[in-house]
């Protein structure tokens, strides 16, 4: 593992690719690798880009990467693709999406599977971001699959979140009201040369105004239905707004590179805002908290699976419930009891 880490830190792109493969597949040694990466992270700017299918996310990512390269910056791109129900891998993993940057070794592109994560961003993605950061990439772009209520998990990975909307997409704008409006640090109305672009911009402006008015009237959490981690992520965005940030709306035609410079300026402005208000540190703390929770959930689930197997497997436990010998609550208590006792003994010793 140390050899792979050393080569990654020395700027070996093959080592970087191998490390991300190890991370994505969760192969033996990946935890030690990621743990060793932490001392070398914290320098990259992480940008999340999401939006409905067909909004032009990949094209925008391509042009933004090209813009950063023109500035002399190195770029890492992670594109989250739908998981294959058969292999768990990225369905679109072999596609060529970075046409403007093919052959440029300072633009590292990796397509990864969402692996069934409801938020579109798995723990493996967050770990891959660490690998790119430790490698020395100046900008890391995470492009997520689709857009929807659960897409807010990108907040936990990215410093700045961009939501793409296409003109005339009334359904998309309505969907934003369901929750994704809260996560946007920057809006991009792509394909702004199409009819309806002005109307889409106006709708977004109206929605932002309504959101600000709602916040002025009440501090009640309108997202109480979300799970705790998502609520925490959204709360970060709300705190940002209260600190004086209103998401700008950038009009772009990504296929022609129009609006890309304005978009990058908006990203820079948001970064400056995060640093000035202390929100950048707050995001880092929230990110670590989420990583701890996620790892504990994963490890606990693995430990419980091992315990269930030792008791004859889930089918045998179900059979005992079916036979009326016990019930799911008693089984859960029985399986957890030795683990809980061990944890308490360790804590009290």
pLDDT at 227: 43
Query: How far, in Å, CA of 84 to CA of 113, rounded?
Result: 8
Other residues' Cβ atoms within 10 Å of the Cβ of residue 12 = 15
pLDDT at 81: 73
Closest CA to 100 of 75, 132, 134, 125: 75
Torsion angles phi and psi, residue 241, rounded to 5? -60, -40
pLDDT at 51: 84
Ordered strands of the 45-51 beta sheet: 107-113, 75-81, 139-143, 45-51, 160-165, 186-189, 249-251
Query: How far, in Å, CA of 31 to CA of 22, rounded?
Result: 10
Contact 19, 27 (CB under 8 A): no
Residue 134 CB burial class (10 angstroms; 0-12, 13-18, ≥19): buried
Supply the pTM of this predicted model: 0.82
CATH 3.40.50.300 intervals, the chain: 42-277
The encoded tokens of residue 332 equal 């859960």
CA atoms within 13 A on the CB side of 40: 22
Distance, CA of 103 to chain centre? 27
DSSP state of 145: S
The DSSP line for 293-319 is HHHHHHHHHHHHHHHHHHTT-HHHHHH
pLDDT at 182: 76
Specify the CATH class of 42-277 in words. Answer: alpha beta
Query: How far, in Å, CA of 22 to CA of 85, rounded?
Result: 21
Chunked in runs of 10, what are the mean pLDDT values of the chain (349 residues)? 90 94 91 95 94 87 95 94 46 44 75 59 86 97 70 80 82 59 88 90 86 61 42 51 81 95 97 95 90 89 92 94 96 92 88
């Amino acid at each position: 593992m140390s050899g792979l880490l050393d080569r990654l830190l020395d700027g070996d792109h093959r080592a970087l690719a191998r490390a991300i493969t190890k991370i994505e597949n969760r192969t033996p040694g990946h935890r030690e690798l990621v743990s060793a990466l932490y001392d070398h992270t914290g320098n990259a700017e992480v940008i999340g880009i999401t939006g409905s299918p067909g909004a032009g996310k990949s094209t925008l990512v391509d042009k933004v990467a090209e813009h950063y390269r023109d500035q002399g910056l190195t770029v890492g791109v992670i594109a989250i693709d739908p998981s294959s129900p058969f292999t768990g891998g990225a369905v679109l993993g072999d596609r060529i999406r970075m046409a403007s940057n093919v052959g440029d070794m300072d633009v590292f592109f990796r397509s990864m599977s969402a692996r069934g994560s409801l938020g579109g961003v798995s723990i493996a993605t967050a770990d891959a971001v660490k690998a790119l950061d430790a490698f020395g990439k100046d900008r890391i772009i995470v492009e997520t699959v689709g857009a929807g209520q659960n897409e807010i998990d990108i907040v936990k990975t990215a410093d700045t979140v961009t939501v793409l909307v296409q003109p005339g997409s009334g359904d998309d704008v309505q969907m934003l009201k369901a929750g994704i409006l809260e996560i946007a640090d920057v809006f991009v109305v792509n394909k702004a040369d199409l009819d309806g672009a002005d109307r889409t911009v106006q709708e977004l402006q109206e929605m932002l105004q309504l959101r600000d008015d709602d916040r002025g009237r009440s501090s009640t959490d309108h997202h109480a239905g979300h799970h705790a981690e998502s609520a925490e992520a959204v709360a970060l965005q709300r705190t940002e707004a209260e600190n004086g940030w209103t998401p700008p709306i950038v009009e772009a035609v990504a296929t022609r590179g129009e609006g890309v410079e304005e978009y990058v300026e908006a990203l820079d402005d948001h970064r400056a805002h995060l640093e000035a208000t202390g929100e950048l540190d707050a995001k880092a703390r929230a990110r670590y908290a989420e990583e701890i929770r996620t790892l504990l959930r994963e490890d606990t689930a693995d430990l419980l699976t091992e315990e269930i197997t030792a008791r004859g497997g889930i089918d045998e436990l179900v059979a005992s419930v079916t036979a009326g010998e016990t019930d799911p609550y008693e089984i859960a208590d029985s399986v957890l009891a030795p683990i809980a006792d061990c944890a308490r003994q360790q804590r009290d010793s």
